[in-house]
């Protein structure tokens, strides 16, 4: 591709300028919800918006000429302004962003999962830098200590997060409790 196809395309289509893509990773909105917020933005010529479902995120992409970085960054700021409460990362997946923040702060994380059944641990291990900041993780079944389960779900999750942090000798402890009626508590200590 690099030795034959791209040079041939570049030679054949000299009028086409290379483009770049900036990405916002959002959570909590659907593609149509994002579109509703961004439809009023008038994009300059040669610019377009795109969306991609990247569960659990929706990526908002801004495509534009590679040589026009200043304008693309201004558009990125405008789009960010419309979505800011739902943006979890810019130009890198959230897990990599969180890993960079943990590394920068010299901090670590331990997890205790019940409702997610190990999904979160598996997901965090997809990023090598994040996996290095993960001290320990526990996946608990639904039959764990009845006294903990019968407590207020949020209080139980908070206690579990604190115990996870302490037992894992980590800076932060994150827990998700038992799934009940399609709801579960999440706590960070």
- Over residues 16-66, the pLDDT tens digits come to 778 899 999 999 999 999 999 998 899 998 999 999 988 788 999 999 998
Q: For residue 97, give Cα distances in angstroms to 69, 87, 118.
A: 22, 12, 21
CA dist 25 → 31, 89, 93, 144, 154 (Å): 12, 5, 7, 35, 28
**Above 80 in pLDDT, residue 167?**
yes
* Residue 90 token pair: 């810019």
Angle at 168 between CA 165 and CA 170, to 5 degrees: 60
**With bands split at pLDDT 50, 70 and 90, how would you rate the model's confidence at 148?**
low
Q: How far apart are CA 94 and CA 57, in angstroms?
A: 9
Q: Say what the pLDDT of residue 178 is.
A: 84
Please check the confidence at residue 145 and state whether its pLDDT lies above 60.
no
* Unique residue bearing structure tokens 């990405």: 23
Confidence of residue 147 (pLDDT cuts 50, 70, 90): low
d(CA 28, CA 50): 17
Per-residue pLDDT of 116-131, as tens digits, reads 889 999 999 999 999 9
Burial of 114 (0-12, 13-18, 19+ CB in 10 A): buried
The whole-chain average pLDDT of the chain stands at: 89
Structure-token pair, residue 76: 């990125």
- Check pLDDT > 90 for residue 181: no
Q: What is the mean pLDDT of residues 72-82?
A: 93
């Amino acid at each position: 591709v690099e030795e034959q196809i791209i040079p041939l395309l570049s030679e054949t289509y000299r009028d086409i300028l290379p483009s770049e893509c900036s990405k916002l990773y959002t959570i909590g909105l659907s593609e149509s919800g994002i579109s509703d917020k961004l439809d009023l933005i008038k994009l300059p010529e040669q610019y377009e918006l795109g969306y991609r479902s990247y569960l659990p995120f929706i990526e908002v992409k801004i495509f534009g000429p590679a040589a026009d970085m200043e304008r693309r960054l201004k558009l990125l700021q405008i789009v960010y302004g419309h979505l800011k409460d739902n943006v979890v990362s810019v130009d890198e997946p959230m897990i990599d962003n969180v890993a960079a923040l943990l590394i920068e702060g010299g901090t670590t994380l331990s997890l205790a999962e019940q409702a997610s059944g190990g999904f979160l641990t598996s997901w965090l291990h997809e990023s090598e830098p994040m996996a290095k900041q993960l001290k320990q993780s526990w996946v608990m079944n639904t039959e764990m200590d009845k006294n903990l389960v019968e407590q207020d779900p949020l209080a139980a999750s908070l206690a579990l997060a604190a115990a996870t942090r302490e037992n894992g000798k980590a800076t932060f402890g994150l827990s998700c409790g038992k799934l009940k009626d399609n709801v579960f508590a999440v706590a960070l200590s």
